[in-house]
Amino acid sequence: MASESVILVTGGSGLVGEAVKWVIENETGERFGKRENEKWIFLSSKDGDLRKEADVKAIFEKYKPTHVVHLAAMVGGLFKNMKYKLDFLRENMMMNENILWQSKEFNVKKVVSCLSTCIFPDKTTYPIDETMVHDGPPHDSNFGYAYGKRMIDVYNHAYNEQFGCHFTSVIPTNVFGPHDNYELEGSHVLPGLTHKCYLAKKNNTPFVVWGSGKPLRQFIYSRDLAKLFIWTLREYEEIDPIILSVGEEDEVSIKDVADGIVKAMDFQGEYAFDSTKADGQYKKTANNAKLMKYIPDFEFTPFDVAIKESVEWFEQNYDTLRK
Ligand code: NAP
Ligand code: GFB
């Protein structure tokens, strides 16, 4: 990026957006830290409702971004997805339509949008890679969210072919870290279990893990993902998506997650599984070889260190965090 770059981050007040803000403000190196000629703007829904074209147009007129990191979305864990499939599809489609169209209208040089490893085909071979996004229907539990997200990739190729736009996307695996959403019903597993374990310890009540604990997941620490987003914005030139995940060898079970949280919180009690609750996808093992080819020296934060940092943030910010 040569002359002054104005980088608009939608969803700047969320889990991933706050991590990008943290990295830009705390990293000093040239690779991930803020650069001289960059102005970073972090949006929340207070700046405008991205489902509304007029709001998005006003945001672009106000900031005239040269680059966009598009994180804003309706987001949630398995149980919220199962309950609100149309909302996930429709709200995210509206936001994506408005952001990409205004980015084209305002000649934004590059847009990086966000998919998810949970949108891949349910019936698939493993490990999953970037070429498989559209190779079959997603898991039924989140087909609304999944198809909405897949359309970003379709949009990106159509904008590139018709208007030459440089719109691309990344495919993060499950993300966790400070500023997560800790709602007990709608959150993802790691923040949900963090909150449940905290309450069990505080109130001496049972700590219940939903499902069998057997499903497998790869988790990426939000601050590691943030660095990879900044790298993607600056260095990644393809239109095709790129998976941003830890390796297959770092896949853990939901029980491993519960054990990790118990250890980080020094919870002395027992926990039980409520197998009447859904397990969702058994696994969605993603291959990060494409990323490692581009940035072979990238170091992921060890899972237990990342959980410890996240739990400490949770305990220090309990009164004000999303729950
Ligand atoms: P999050 O914590 O729920 O944050 C969502 C962000 O989007 C917030 O800043 C929110 O603003 C904003 N937003 C939502 N609806 C909006 C609207 N109508 N108008 C304007 N802004 C709106 O989500 P996240 O976990 O950071 O997710 C960021 C991106 O990563 C999403 O695209 C998500 O699909 C993707 N992703 C997440 C995960 C994960 O495990 N979390 C995994 C893979 C991919 P307010 O704060 O004002 O509500
Ligand atoms: O993060 P999560 O809700 O979503 O994880 P997915 C669900 C898994 O964790 C299931 C178990 O196996 C649940 O049975 N689990 C155990 C819990 N205790 C809890 C709990 O207290 N809360 C939650 N939420 N789960 C999502 C997609 O799939 O992945 C989204 O539905 C999104 O669209 C996200 O993309 C990244 O990993 O199953």
Mean pLDDT of the chain: 97
Which residue type sits at 208?
V
CA of 163 to the centre of ligand 1 (A): 28
Tokens found for residue 155: 């949009």
pLDDT over 70 at 311, yes or no: yes
SS3 label, residue 244: strand
Task: Label residue 41 by pLDDT band (50, 70, 90).
Answer: very high
Residue written as token pair 């980088």: 7
Ligand 1 site, residue 70, Cβ cutoff 6 A: no
Please, which residues have CB within 8 angstroms of residue 186's CB and are 6 or more apart in sequence? 76, 77, 79, 80
User: Which ligand 1 atom is nearest residue 179's CA?
Assistant: 2
Rounded average pLDDT over 102-106? 98
Ligand 1 atom 29: residue of nearest CA: 71
Residue written as token pair 């500023």: 179
What per-residue confidence (pLDDT) applies to 80? 98
Task: Label residue 88 by pLDDT band (50, 70, 90).
Answer: very high
Q: 11 with 45: CB under 8 angstroms?
A: no
Region for residue 320 given its phi and psi (left: phi exceeds 0; alpha: psi -120 to 50; beta: otherwise):
alpha
Rounded average pLDDT over 191-196? 98
Question: Catalytic residue at 145?
Answer: yes
| Number of Cβ within a 10 Å radius of residue 131 | 10
Task: Label residue 3 by pLDDT band (50, 70, 90).
Answer: confident
* Percent of the chain whose pLDDT exceeds 70: 99
Angle at 199 between CA 195 and CA 201, to 5 degrees: 115
CA of 60 to the centre of ligand 2 (A): 34
Ligand 1 pocket mutation pick from 8, 16, 220, 310 by most atoms within 8 angstroms of CB: 16
What per-residue confidence (pLDDT) applies to 100? 99
CA distance 230 to 234: 6
What per-residue confidence (pLDDT) applies to 2? 60
